Structure 1
């Protein structure tokens, strides 16, 4: 079964190397908060945009687990500086495990590869 494209919205705090890693893979469509919204957008506004546009938020900001708007979200530990390929592979595995990407609430790599 072919993979469905995961549509990611990378939060302001996501290092460019991860954004570039996702963009170089054919099974991700990637936008950043800076491209879609004001760079100072509140987490609730980012989540609302993600829900409205079928995007999954990729972030290292754990505040996304405490906001009211429920959107698909994938958290990574930026301070651990995981390898780009490891993160891309883990996010790909997460996407493959969910039929509805809007229901994703996961931490990566966290055993996903």
Structure 2
């Protein structure tokens, strides 16, 4: 009687073990996918921040180059070119403000005031 009952019990235990192993494999896969997604998001965030910083530096450099060009216009001997330089300096001050650098805007405003004297 024991032999006829042990075979179905062994089959049932083996099936339960296989289901348990399958469930563990599934949960492990879910955890791995979640960790991969988190790492990918962290990498994406770091790359986005790097591009934002790089863009910020490039824009700041361009604004500083414009300031140098405007200063040369204001120092020019032609009154028309000096006047164009004053207008360009005013526009540059507005661009510094939109860039969030009001200290640099103040530098432009001081330059505009000084150039009009």
- After TM superposition, the score normalised by the length of structure 2 is 0.21
Bigger share in strand: 1
- After TM superposition, the score normalised by the length of structure 1 is 0.21
Whose Rg is larger?
Answer: 2
**Larger RCO of the pair (alpha carbons < 8 Å, separation 6+):** 1
